[in-house]
Structure 1
Amino acid sequence: METRRDFIKKSSILSLAGAVQPASAINLLQTKQQTKPKTHWADGFRLVVSVSMQFEAGGQPDNAESPFPQNMQKGFIDLPAATWFAYGYKEGIPRMLDNWDKLGIKVTSHMVGTAVLKNPQLAKEIVQRGHEAAAHGMNWATEYTMSYDEEKKFIKDGIDAIKKVTGFDAIGYNANWLRRGENTLKILQELGFIYHIDDLSRDEPFIIKVNDKDFAVVPYTLRCNDIMLIEGKNFSADQFVNQVKMEFDQLYAESEYKRRQMSISFHDRIGGSPQMVKAASEIIKYIQQQPGVAFKRKDEIARMALADKTTIRE
């Protein structure tokens, strides 16, 4: 009869035998790791970072959502809140533009049509400094409730305002709070757009079919987004820095064998504050220390995705 001591002794020997793998098995494992296919971007970079600069201030309706309590009585205008938005075009965007120049990166600016018309020189300066002008609707209207014709006019009015002021043909789109309607993508394809960003489902661009044609999706972010982490949840700038750095570290590790895109989003009246511009500078300098990383505008990313046969298709 086998004693408990004999059983433990036998089990230990079997476990040790299982732990010692033959040299052939080890070599096979190492070969598999070494031959794991790399999926770098077509231009050789292993990770692409996309920065958004939302140009919305000046285009908001009266009593728009702000950090102030939403308790204004009907018939009155929230004047302090209006000054919070005005900070975006008076201080925020000019400060961010100088920072992007210092850091040597180009960004995508999603522009609300009425904001562009109210501050044409600022909109023009964004494009003149080499940044992309993307469309963000004509105003802050709720887009998903519009009829097909109403929405098409709404989107076209926005891109016409951008074209008139900046001379830039917008080919990328962002709906208010990402809430597009059932007809939005069809309309965008008809109007000559090549991508939209109202999608959070991946950490890399992908291609879908719209009107039987290829259309790029360049994913957006709510995680690395100042409106969620600073204005929305009262996080501090240093928490934002740490969270975005952690996001980058993980995506960079994955990017060795998987195509990765990181998105960071700033809004004129939030990301343009002194503390957040300092935070952005620290984040971007940290990212720039790593080899194989490129900062690209979203129109560049969309064109690369559409031209690359290995891009994911859905």
Structure 2
Amino acid sequence: MAQGKLERTGFWPGDARLVISISMQFEAGAQPERGASGPFPPLDPKYPDLPMQTWYDYGVKEGIPRMLDLWDRVGVKVTSHMVGQAVDRHPQLAREIVERGHEAAGHGQTWEPQFSMTPAQERAGYLASIASIERATGTRPIGFNAFWLRGTPNTLGILQELGFVYHIDDISRDEPFTVPVNGKPFMVVPYTLRNNDIVRYDSPALTVDAYLADLKAEFDLLYQEAGRRRRMMSISTHDRISGTPARVRALETFIRYAQSHPGVRFMRKDEIARFALTAPGVPRS
């Protein structure tokens, strides 16, 4: 290999070459009775959308249980961003997620977007979310994901004051980095739109085979780049979307493909955040 192109190591724990982090969004049960988004044509909100509710129900009845079995089969631990109201309605499922080794992270208390909230409303919502997750799982969340990534200029300061360590509402890098909040570093573990089922499967033309091909192509280049710099691949799954039989099969095929490469490690986002807070060479924005 030519001088200057020598591969380096030490970017990740255990000398891993590339880290992959998977989100499993737990939202079913928090959706509004009227006006929730989904695969059906919009319905006048003066009427309850009964079939739309069953689409969300699939997430807790079939989707998450099927994905939990997948994570067990392939030996992968994930981060589950949980809406507090969904946890309140399905506490046993939230508890099972944690008991099977996965991270419980915050995703707000209700379906209400954060971007238009006052600081007092944000704080109250995050405190309620913390309480819901702690009550069901016995763990306190340290990671956060806003509704469609849209927080406010106050969000990070409030999260920091409440003991959160990281958020994921940033898609500007393929590696973790910090931002200053009240003079202290706050971790960003970047999210993804391109490897995100709720974005990609919105197109009826996207088959599971096409999504699998995209995941492999993304992995291949990041794996190549990871010989010279810290690289992280993020994948986002949602309970009612990726938990279908065909999509779980595609995810399993991809994970086993990634695991066939030396130096690939799957990590929860809290593990990434805690490591990156003190690791050398982490970008400081």
Shorter-chain TM-score range:
over 0.9
Residue of structure 1 equivalent to 2:156: 185
Letter in 1 for 2:23: S
Instruction: State the Cα distance separating 1:33 from its structure 2 match.
Output: 3.1
Cα distance in 1, alignment partners of residues 160 and 113 from structure 2: 20
Cα distance, 1:149–1:94 mapped onto 2, change above 3 Å: same
Among 37, 52, 60, the residue aligned to 1:65: 37
Cα distance, 1:144–1:105 mapped onto 2, change above 3 Å: same
Cα distance, 1:261–1:178 mapped onto 2, change above 3 Å: same
Residue of structure 2 equivalent to 1:31: 3
Matches within 5 A, 1:298-313: 298-313=269-284
Among 81, 84, 88, the residue aligned to 2:59: 88
Cα distance in 1, alignment partners of residues 270 and 177 from structure 2: 13
- The answer to whether the Cα contact below 8 Å between 1:42 and 1:308 also exists between their aligned partners in 2 is no
Q: Deviations over 1:63-87 (max 9, x none)?
A: 30011011x1242011111100000
Residue of structure 2 equivalent to 1:220: 191
Matched, 1:131 2:131: no
Among 79, 85, 91, the residue aligned to 1:120: 91
Matched, 1:176 2:147: yes
RMSD: 1.3
Q: Deviations over 1:199-224 (max 9, x none)?
A: 00000000111111111000000001
Q: Compare CA radii of gyration and give the structure with the larger one.
A: 1
Residue of structure 1 equivalent to 2:207: 236
The number of residue pairs the alignment matches comes to 284
Instruction: State the Cα distance separating 1:234 from its structure 2 match.
Output: 4.5
The runs of 5 or more residues in structure 2 that have no matched partner are none
Cα distance in 2, alignment partners of residues 74 and 171 from structure 1: 35
Matched, 1:146 2:117: yes
Q: TM-score, normalised by structure 1?
A: 0.88
- The answer to whether the Cα contact below 8 Å between 1:96 and 1:272 also exists between their aligned partners in 2 is yes
The runs of 5 or more residues in structure 1 that have no matched partner are 1-28
Percent identity among equivalent residues? 53
Among 279, 297, 304, the residue aligned to 2:268: 297
- The answer to whether the Cα contact below 8 Å between 2:9 and 2:15 also exists between their aligned partners in 1 is no
Matched, 1:278 2:249: yes
Among 23, 48, 61, the residue aligned to 1:77: 48
Instruction: State the Cα distance separating 1:238 from its structure 2 match.
Output: 0.8
Letter in 2 for 1:156: L
- The structure richer in helix per residue is 1
Cα distance in 2, alignment partners of residues 237 and 64 from structure 1: 24
Q: Which moved more, 1:57-66 or 1:124-133?
A: 57-66
Instruction: State the Cα distance separating 1:39 from its structure 2 match.
Output: 5.8
Q: Which moved more, 1:54-63 or 1:125-134?
A: 54-63
Cα distance in 1, alignment partners of residues 56 and 205 from structure 2: 17
